[in-house]
Amino acid sequence: MCSAPYNEFYVLNICCSDFILSKQWKDLWKRLTILTLFHHEFVKAASFNKFASEVLSARDASISLLNNPRNSHLKLRNTFQHKIVLSTPNLSSLTIIDHYGVSHEPLSSPSNLSCLEEGTIDTDTNISYSVFIGWLQVFTNVKILTLSSDTLRLLKELSNLPTMRTQPPRFVRLETLKVKMIPYVEISYEELKRAVEYLLQNSQLIRVVVIKC
């Protein structure tokens, strides 16, 4: 049973069932800093999006989601239907995965993730350029950054748009860039080189490791 009013993590349906036992817990779920919403119980994506919107609209907006200073590892997969703000100053590992191109909302972090050691971006080329640049901004303090072949293709596309709005950030602590080359994704050496040069144009020269999967 959920006894602490600011419990950091609790399954939503359990908190809602607690309301049946006692009305004093009816607003308990609104104070959770981490919510897990499962889309597999919804037949249509539109139904899930509507449900997620209603949940996020009803919760206490003064309490930040993912506001957990002890979080050290975080993986976000196809979750950017809504704006996400990371209040995780001690985060050491962050992975962003979107294979379907469904992300269209920004990701930000007021803490700048100054403790970030490792980061991974594996995304489809259908992601909005502005959203993708916003993701890169979150990784400015990362030491080891891993990118997929599809992510490189997106960087190659961005390199053809030399505007200030599509400029990558400066990676102030980056030591190693890892590139995962997947066989079914066709990208030439010249395209890879161009994508990497574009990404690191505002950063110091670092070690680049190409991994053939």
For 152-202, the pLDDT digits (tens) are: 989 988 888 766 567 899 999 999 999 998 877 778 888 889 999 999 999
First-to-final CA distance of the chain: 45
pLDDT for 120: 96
Determine the Cα angle at 210 with ends 207 and 212, to 5°.
160
Distance CA 107, CA 126 (A): 17
Token reading at 60: 């206490």
Q: Note the pLDDT of residue 108.
A: 82
Distance CA 144, CA 53 (A): 34
Closest to 30 measured CA to CA, from 63, 1, 53: 63
Q: Could you name the CATH architecture of 65-212?
A: Alpha-Beta Horseshoe (3.80)
> Phi, psi (5° rounding) for residue 29?
-65, -25
Q: Which residue has the higher pLDDT, 16 or 53?
A: 53
pLDDT per residue over 71-119, tens digit each?
577 888 766 666 777 777 888 999 998 877 666 777 888 878 898 999 9
Q: Domain extents for the chain?
A: 1-63, 65-212
